[in-house]
């Protein structure tokens, strides 16, 4: 290409580039030299501003029935380019895309941009914008049309659905349904959509395309915590048990101070409203001089809605207690339990702002296979408050009470002990409670609180300082709050923040090392 042709191309491309930024009357000249490079001199001139915006709607949305006028008004009010603003082609394209997206997100799945114009008055540096959105007809949903199922039961997808035949099209509801299915362990991938044919809008089938995940998994794990020592675990899961889409999770967990064998079976949800499960567990532990052996069988119904998890459980439990230096005992308990849990945090694994609130109530009656009448109440709140960039202030409070004439015959799960990582640091795990012989056993009352400041000096490393306080006792008057304070390190691992803390227990006058997960949900 000769230099004169290159010069013409340079002028043209420079003018086109300036026009995208709103400069429609630039002066571009070249200073030519017989030898050496030529110089391009650009005077962009005055930047054009938006003079007017004309947004029109055709199709069903242009009607006056129902909420259509209010919706048109809201769409125009949300338009981002207003008269007086500088014109940029990228902003103009983005604004049109956002408007079309807002129209097509609800009711009008086949909406399209039927016309758009940016009329430029280069001399006056003004741009008049106009566009027309054709909403097309409104869509309503029909039945599910599922493809890709091989081994899973045919009704499994429908059990997760909250979509109703005949309801108005709403893209967010389809995406929510898709996300719910994607989170189900039976599916490797999920796509939920409809056909956007403007001639077929009534009862449009909802297409659900799935691919099945590997149903069976075997896992091996190992770990360590200062609470229960070294740990090894063997787990087995089958998310299509008996070809019914039931989920089996089972495992054998061997810790130095506690051993657990468990199996839980979760049934598919019932029209996404609730989920039932059945579980059995055998556990042995030797903590603070108290040797426990328990066998439990439970039935549960769980619901999750608007960020709140609720669960009802009926549980039968046989327990044998062997405290050092005191007589052993046995108990059988049939209990009904309720849990309410709300998590309003920015990140479940690494929260920086928000709160967690948990409430529990449960108990048994002598008339229904329990040793005595009792009611256990428990509440916990954790607050995460961001401070100075990535730093976080964490405040925690716990209260528990078991209402009963005495603790005799009540399983340890319905009483309270505290101390250790994630509770009152500076004291051994579950060492704060009621002395029985040479052992520490659970009491009927518990109170604990903590304040912690975490400073992230790198993206994945932080230091923390904390003060913990708490105790468990068999009466409110016997509660003697124990203080623990110290400092530690935090590492943002893929599984969540890990904590290594050194804490001083004021009541014992000793230092303890604590290792565990820094977030307890």
Tell me: the pLDDT tens digits for 496-518? 778 999 999 999 999 999 998 76
Ramachandran angles phi, psi of 414, nearest 5°: -105, 10
What is residue 70's DSSP assignment? H
Ramachandran angles phi, psi of 160, nearest 5°: -90, -10
pLDDT in the model for residue 4: 67
Tokens of 322: 């062997």
Fold that domain 141-212 belongs to in CATH: Ubiquitin-like (UB roll) (3.10.20)
DSSP string, 357-409: EEEEEEEE-GGGT-SS-EEEEEEEEEEEEEETTTEEEEEEEEEEEEESS-STT
pLDDT in the model for residue 468: 97
**How far apart, in whole angstroms, are the C-alpha atoms of residue 132 and residue 465?**
60
Q: What is the mean predicted confidence (pLDDT) over 216-241? A: 94
pLDDT in the model for residue 388: 86
Residue among 470, 448, 450, 471 at smallest CA distance from 396: 450
CA dihedral 198, 202, 203, 205 (to 10 degrees): -10
Fold match between 141-212 and 284-517?
Answer: no
Q: What is the mean predicted confidence (pLDDT) over 484-488? A: 97
Tokens of 170: 């709403």
Question: Quick one: what percent of the chain has pLDDT higher than 90?
Answer: 82
Length of the chain, in residues? 521
pLDDT in the model for residue 23: 87
Tokens of 110: 């086949």
How many CB atoms within 10 Å of residue 32? 12
Domain 49-134 has CATH 3.10.20.310: yes
Of the listed ranges 145-159, 248-262, 368-382, 505-519, the one predicted with least confidence: 505-519
Of the listed ranges 16-25, 212-221, 474-483, the one predicted with least confidence: 16-25
Tell me: the pLDDT tens digits for 450-461? 999 999 999 899
**How far apart, in whole angstroms, are the C-alpha atoms of residue 412 and residue 392?**
34
**How far apart, in whole angstroms, are the C-alpha atoms of residue 454 and residue 465?**
7
Q: What is the mean predicted confidence (pLDDT) over 485-489? A: 96
How many CB atoms within 10 Å of residue 164? 11
- pLDDT at position 521 over 60: no
Residue 247 neighbours by CB under 8 Å, 6+ apart: 185, 186, 237, 238, 239, 241, 265, 266
Tell me: the pLDDT tens digits for 297-337? 999 999 988 889 999 999 999 999 999 999 999 999 999 99
CA dihedral 177, 180, 185, 190 (to 10 degrees): 40
Tell me: the pLDDT tens digits for 30-87? 776 666 677 777 778 888 899 999 999 999 999 999 999 999 999 999 999 999 999 9
pLDDT in the model for residue 41: 78
- pLDDT at position 94 over 80: yes
Q: What is the mean predicted confidence (pLDDT) over 167-176? A: 96
How many CB atoms within 10 Å of residue 64? 7
pLDDT in the model for residue 2: 62
Tell me: the pLDDT tens digits for 407-448? 999 999 999 999 999 899 999 999 999 999 999 999 999 999
User: Residue 47 in 3-state DSSP?
Assistant: coil
| Residue 115 CA to its chain's centroid (Å) | 41
What is residue 122's DSSP assignment? T
Assess contact for 107 and 139: CB atoms under 8 A: yes
Tell me: the pLDDT tens digits for 372-405? 999 999 999 999 999 988 899 999 999 999 999 9
Ramachandran angles phi, psi of 166, nearest 5°: 100, -10
At which residue do the structure tokens 């809605």 appear?
A: 305
Domain ranges for the chain: 3-43, 49-134, 141-212, 284-517
Assess contact for 520 and 349: CB atoms under 8 A: no
pLDDT in the model for residue 494: 79
Tokens of 426: 């500076």
Tell me: the pLDDT tens digits for 351-363? 899 999 999 999 9
**How far apart, in whole angstroms, are the C-alpha atoms of residue 502 and residue 515?**
9
Mean pLDDT for the chain?
92
**How far apart, in whole angstroms, are the C-alpha atoms of residue 136 and residue 62?**
10
Residue 318 neighbours by CB under 8 Å, 6+ apart: 294, 295, 296, 330, 331, 332
What is residue 438's DSSP assignment? T
Q: What is the pTM of this model?
A: 0.82
Residue among 275, 252, 280 at smallest CA distance from 264: 280
What is residue 167's DSSP assignment? P
**How far apart, in whole angstroms, are the C-alpha atoms of residue 8 and residue 486?**
73
Residue predicted with more confidence, 349 or 99: 99
CATH class of 284-517: mainly beta
H helices of 168-229, where?
Answer: 171-183
CA distances from 280 to 263, 293, 299, 310 (A): 6, 14, 9, 20
Ramachandran angles phi, psi of 455, nearest 5°: -115, 115
Could you tell me the pLDDT band of residue 7, with boundaries at 50, 70 and 90?
Answer: low
Residue among 221, 252, 225, 251 at smallest CA distance from 236: 251
């Amino acid at each position: 290409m000769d230099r004169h042709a290159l010069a013409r191309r340079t002028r043209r491309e420079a003018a086109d580039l300036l026009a995208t930024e709103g400069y429609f009357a630039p002066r571009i000249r070249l200073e030519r030299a017989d030898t050496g490079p030529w110089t391009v001199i650009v005077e962009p001139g005055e930047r054009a501003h938006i003079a007017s915006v004309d947004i029109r709607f055709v199709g069903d949305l242009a009607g006056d029935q129902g909420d259509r006028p209010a919706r048109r008004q809201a769409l125009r009010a949300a338009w981002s380019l207003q008269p007086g603003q500088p014109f940029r082609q990228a902003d103009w394209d983005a604004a049109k895309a956002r408007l079309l997206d807002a129209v097509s997100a609800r009711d009008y799945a086949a909406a399209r941009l039927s016309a758009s114009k940016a009329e430029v008055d280069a001399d006056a540096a003004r741009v008049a914008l106009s566009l027309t959105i054709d909403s097309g007809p409104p869509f309503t949903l029909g039945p599910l049309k599922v493809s890709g199922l091989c081994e899973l039961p045919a009704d499994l997808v429908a059990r997760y659905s909250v979509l109703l035949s005949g309801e108005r099209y709403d893209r967010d509801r389809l995406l929510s349904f898709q996300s719910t299915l994607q989170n189900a362990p039976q599916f490797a991938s999920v796509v939920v959509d409809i056909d956007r044919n403007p001639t077929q809008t009534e009862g449009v089938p909802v297409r659900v395309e799935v691919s099945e995940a590997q149903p069976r998994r075997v896992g091996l794990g190992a770990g360590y915590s200062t609470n229960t020592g070294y740990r090894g675990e063997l787990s087995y899961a089958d998310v299509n048990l008996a070809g019914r889409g039931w989920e089996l999770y089972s495992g054998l967990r061997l810790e130095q101070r506690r051993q657990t064998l468990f199996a839980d079976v979760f049934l598919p949800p019932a029209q996404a409203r609730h989920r039932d499960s059945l579980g059995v567990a055998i556990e042995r532990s030797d903590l603070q001089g108290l040797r426990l052996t328990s066998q439990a069988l439970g039935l549960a119904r769980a619901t999750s809605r608007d960020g709140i998890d609720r669960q009802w459980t009926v549980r039968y439990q046989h327990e044998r207690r062997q405290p050092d230096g005191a007589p052993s005992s046995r108990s059988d308990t049939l209990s009904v339990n309720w849990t309410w849990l709300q998590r309003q945090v920015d990140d479940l694994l690494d929260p920086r702002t928000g709160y967690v609130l948990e409430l529990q109530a449960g108990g048994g009656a002598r008339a229904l296979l329990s040793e005595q009448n009792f009611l256990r109440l428990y509440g916990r709140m954790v607050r995460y408050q961001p401070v100075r960039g990535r730093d976080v202030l964490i405040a925690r409070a716990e209260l528990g009470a078991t209402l009963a004439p005495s603790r005799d015959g009540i399983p340890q799960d319905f009483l309270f002990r505290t101390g250790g990582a994630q509770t009152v640091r500076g004291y051994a795990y579950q060492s704060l409670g009621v002395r029985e012989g040479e052992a520490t056993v659970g009491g009927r009352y518990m109170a604990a609180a903590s304040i912690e400041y975490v400073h992230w000096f790198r993206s994945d490393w932080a230091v923390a300082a904390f003060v913990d306080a708490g105790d468990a006792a068999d009466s409110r008057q016997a509660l003697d709050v124990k203080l623990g304070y110290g400092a530690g390190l935090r590492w943002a691992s893929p599984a969540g923040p890990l904590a290594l803390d050194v804490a001083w227990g004021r009541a014992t006058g000793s230092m303890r090392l604590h290792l565990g997960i820094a977030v307890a949900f």
